[in-house]
Amino acid sequence: MNRLLKTASLAALALSLGACAPLFRAPPPLGSPLPEVQASLGTPRAVYRLADGSQVLEYAGQPMGQFQHMATIGPDGRLVSYEQVLTSEKFATVKVGKSTKDDILRTFGHPAETSRVAFHDYEVWSYRYKEAGVWNSMMHVHFDQQGIVQQMLNGPDPRYDDRLRFR
């Protein structure tokens, strides 16, 4: 029985580390062709195609991590940028009243959680991140029925705040 538990624990650890592979791998140099990017970083969680022929590859850290990497591949099929997008600075680029769900997906990828605010009938996408690189936080992006960002609120991540945990 003890051996079975050890084997199951090691298997679970291997699977969880596999999901974090992009975290532990160095990104390929800018200008690398798409096949080299995918060989280095693995299969992206999602691919967002842009009007100019470029594409953005999502390397997920959500729902439990506090990071999300996006690799931009230019129309020529080469790596233009690779960045950790869940930052205070990047969230500040969202245009309330203008940015759409598609804009948010292309910029930040899939959220850690989704919920609703009944009073305004808003859909809320929540992202775990380190505010100012220090505080365990969540950014909540509120969308109206047309999928337009109406407000953004940040606060502590309840996973790390005993005062906010359900008992």
Successive 10-residue mean pLDDT values, the chain, 167 residues = 47 43 71 96 95 96 88 97 96 98 97 93 96 92 97 92 62
Total-model pTM: 0.79
pLDDT (0 to 100) of residue 167:
53
Give the long-range contacts of residues 72-75, CB within 8 A, separation 24 or more: 73/34, 73/37
DSSP type of residue 109: -
Name residue 154's beta-bridge partners: 139
- 107 φ/ψ angles, rounded to the nearest 5 degrees: -90, -45
pLDDT (0 to 100) of residue 3:
52
The residues spanned by each domain of the chain are 27-164
